[in-house]
Amino acid sequence: MKQFHSSDIRNFAIVGHGASGKTSLSEAILKLGGEINRLGTIEDGSTVSDYHPAEKSRQISIHSTPLHMEWGGKKFNIIDTPGYSDFIGESLGSLGIVDLALITIHAANGIEVCTETMWENATNLGIPKMLVVNGLDREHTKFNEILAQAKKRFGDNVFPMQLPVNPGPGYNQNIDVLRNELITYKNDKSGEMDEGPLPENFQNQVKDLHEGLIEYVAESDDNLLEKFFDQGGLSEEEMREGIHKAIQDQTFVPLFCISATSNIGVRRLCDFIAKYGSSPDDRKVVVAHNKNGDDIEVSLDGEETVLQIFKTMSESHLGELSLFRIYSGNVKTGKDYYNSNRNINERFGQMFLMNGKNRTQVGQLFAGDIAGVVKLKDTHTGNTLCSGNHVTLPKLNLPSPNIHSAIVSDSKGDEEKLAVGLATLHEEDPTFVYRVDSEVKQTIISGQGELHLTVTTERLKRRFGISIGLEKVKVPFRETITTKAQAKYRHKKQSGGAGQFAEVWMKIEPQKKGDGIEFTQSLVGQNVDRVFVPSVEKGVKIACLEGILAGCNVVDVKIDFYDGKMHPVDSKDIAFQTAGKHAFRKAFLAAQPCLLEPIIDIKVKIPEEFMGDIMGDISGKRGKIMGMDSEGGFQLINAQVPQAELHNYATTVRSLTGGRGLHSESFSHYEKLPKDLEQKVIQERKTKEDE
């Protein structure tokens, strides 16, 4: 491929709700650009973009896939992203490195939760948006309703650049509002079209729209606005000048009409992106950090290289592949760059322009471009590589996990391999996290949904040969007391060799929530030598870790060791540890102990019609509704629910809402577990111990 100036590059991500046709649209674009000869389909698993085995078998996108082609003298770098909420991290990561978001909307389903999530994220990142209503060849399309919905949700400046003339099966005509013409596409998926005059019945509507468009464009630029008032309008030429800027400012948000699978409308969309879409020049300067964490500007025309890895993945026959965007300078195979997140040097390996599994090798690339590089040793998703001064680009904006599972490894002795596998997968996909939880003694993996964890588990098996099972995360119940109590305990062992003797007197009382375990001594006289104080404390701390009622951590208890007895020969550290531990257990059981359970704050975002189901489910889960709000066209429910009830809640939300709801979780506090449940938990843990 020839070299493109940054102003001739169009970096955009296709984002939107699952099944709105992002992958099919990518396919249609590549077909127009001549990168492929025929349109692959999701059903046959033959699209360029969904080429991974897990994507083919499930018929959904799991990875962000970079694609490229040439159109109208411009280089398109397209990123087809997943819309399934399990893989939302991929989409958010990709949005962070493009200059334009193309948001697809399903022509029959309208605006869905992920449509809105993507809108918000693109807005927060400050990148312009275009909307694409796709699938206008489907039955039961509702273009006018979607347009009204989009204006209501996203603002009145959403503007239809096109109107579908014959939506529904057989759809092949659009009105082009900018050019005041009728476009008829061939029905052979070639994407070819004829232009003709406006039909009579559209003339008034289009005239009004056209005038509206002129006003939007005029508003984006003072010079144009002046001309607009002087001349009472804008010429075709002046319009063209203004549209690009108007899109950058989002004074209006263009909306397009297409059918991806029949290649209707895609050509005009590409023309529009080529002519008016954003280029890297529109984000010439990005704010990064220097070594001291101060803001510095990275400029597209800078001499030094600055690039960011936005995804790493392992590819068959290639090994580890890192996808990157260059923000400044150029990159060359064989050169060393500095990884400022990890403070190491990396030698740049072979570089590729990507079209799914079809890749073209290149030796050098320039600022603004997107490509892949192989064999970086220790550089991971989100890292910055640079030449010259130390620069770190802002972190990719990624969601926090909302589903957790414990892993059980079938293969004993593979711990080290497992640790390496988990670490590698996390580095590739930072939305997959894992940790060893000492409280419940499980290794816990977390992600964006059950499917995310399943797919990652499969990857662990395929790549590292480790098979793991998933099981429920144990709830980290805790134990505490509700009244004061005291106990005396004598530990005496005099059979065989050296004897052991210790006696500990102890008072305990509840502490304020969150104050933990506090151990004091108030010994008077010489009954107990002070050297044994740490021994008693150690015994108490062990008892607190082991738990007394149900094997859970003990919290929020104040302990005072106030007296005891000792023996001149047989008293020793271990004897006082044992006596301390047992005195504590005895006092604890006398102090009306109880179990505490973790309560989680959840936020659920759903279309209005699912309110009843979600609220009903929350109250069935012993949850408390803390508040409700509407956000965009969705309802936002804030609630507090016990962790014990939230196992795979992401899946519950998905199934209650047909995939149209989303939720997030964060720990809130501990609360007393109801008595009936407490008995159940204690019983369960006892049986486990007996086994």
Say whether residue 22 binds ligand GDP (CB under 6 A): yes
Q: Does 18 bind ligand GDP (CB under 6 A)?
A: yes
CB of 25 to ligand GDP, least distance (A): 7
Minimal distance in Å, beta carbon 515 to ligand GDP?
50
- Cβ-based neighbours of 485, under 8 Å, separated by 6 or more: 507, 508, 509, 587, 588, 590, 591, 592
The SS3 assignment for 468 reads: strand
User: Nearest distance from residue 455's CB to ligand GDP, in Å?
Assistant: 15
For residue 173, state whether it binds Mg ion (rule: CB under 5 A).
Answer: no
The one among 11, 20, 47, 61 contacting Mg ion by CB under 5 A? 61
Beta bridge partners of residue 634, listed in sequence order: 607, 631
Partner touching 401 among Mg ion, ligand GDP, none, CB below 5 to 8 Å by kind: none
Q: What values do phi and psi take at 60, rounded to 5?
A: -140, 160
Neighbouring residues of 268: CB distance < 8 A, sequence distance ≥ 6: 162, 174, 176, 183, 193, 256
Binding to Mg ion by residue 64, rule CB under 5 A?
A: no
Is the distance from CB of 376 to CB of 322 less than 8 angstroms?
yes
Site for Mg ion in 14-43 (CB under 5 A): 22-23
Per CB under 6 A, the segment of 135-143, 399-407, 531-539, 648-656 that binds ligand GDP is: 135-143
Of residues 64 and 250, the one with the C-beta less far from Mg ion: 64
- Judged by CB under 6 A, does residue 134 bind ligand GDP? yes
**In 3D, which of 240, 237, 236 has the Cα closest to residue 271?**
240
Cα 151 to chain centroid, rounded: 27
- Among 650, 670, 608, 610, which Cα is nearest to 153's? 608
Minimum CB separation of residue 103 from ligand GDP in Å reads 11
Question: Per CB under 6 A, which region of 132-140, 213-221, 274-282, 477-485 contacts ligand GDP?
Answer: 132-140
280 binds, among ligand GDP, Mg ion, none (CB under 5 to 8 A by kind): none
- Of 11, 24, 115, 339, the one binding ligand GDP (CB under 6 A) is 24
Is residue 104 near Mg ion by the rule CB under 5 A?
no
Q: Given the rule CB under 5 A, which of 53-61, 319-327, 522-530, 584-592 is the region that contacts Mg ion?
A: 53-61
64 lies in the binding site for ligand GDP (CB under 6 A): no
55-63, 70-78, 492-500, 611-619 -> range binding Mg ion (CB under 5 A) = 55-63
**Partner interacting with residue 42 (select from Mg ion, ligand GDP, none; CB below 5-8 Å by kind):** ligand GDP
Told to check if 110 binds ligand GDP by CB under 6 A, we report no
Q: Does 605 bind Mg ion (CB under 5 A)?
A: no
Identify any residues that bridge with 172 across adjacent strands, giving them in sequence order. Answer: none
Of the candidate residues 83, 191, 329, 401, the single one contacting ligand GDP (CB under 6 A) = 83
Local structure of residue 532 (DSSP, 8 states): G
**Residue 134 binding: pick among ligand GDP, Mg ion, none (C-beta 5-8 Å cut-off by kind):** ligand GDP
The span from the CA of 587 to the CA of 508, in Å, is 7
| CA-derived radius of gyration, the chain | 32
Rounded least distance, CB 137 to ligand GDP, Å: 5
State the DSSP code for 495.
S
19: contact with ligand GDP by CB under 6 A = yes
140 by Cβ neighbours in 10 Å (0-12 / 13-18 / 19+) ranks as exposed
Residues 10, 31, 75, 138: which binds ligand GDP (CB under 6 A)? 138
Q: Considering CB distances under 5 to 8 angstroms, the limit depending on partner class, which of ligand GDP, Mg ion, none binds residue 443?
A: none
Distance CA 587, CA 582 (A): 9
Q: What is the DSSP letter of 423?
A: H
Residue 344 token pair: 């190491």
CB-side neighbour CA atoms (13 Å) of 162:
30
Do 445 and 405 meet the contact criterion of CB atoms below 8 Å apart?
A: yes
Task: In whole angstroms, give the CA distance from residue 399 to residue 141.
Answer: 32
Check residue 20 for interaction with ligand GDP (CB under 6 A): yes
- For residue 494, how many other CB atoms are within 10 A of its CB? 11
Contact region with ligand GDP (CB under 6 A), list: 36-44, 191-199, 281-289, 441-449 = 36-44
Coil, strand, or helix at residue 323? strand
Could you identify the residue written with the tokens 């659920």? 604
Range 254-283, binding Mg ion (CB under 5 A):
none
**Quick one: which H or E segment has residue 686?**
helix 675-690
The length of the chain is 691
3-class SS of residue 139: coil
Please state the closest distance from residue 66 (CB atom) to ligand GDP, in A. 15
Site residues for Mg ion per CB under 5 A:
22-23, 61
Site residues for ligand GDP per CB under 6 A:
16, 18-24, 41-43, 60-61, 83, 134-135, 137-138, 259-261
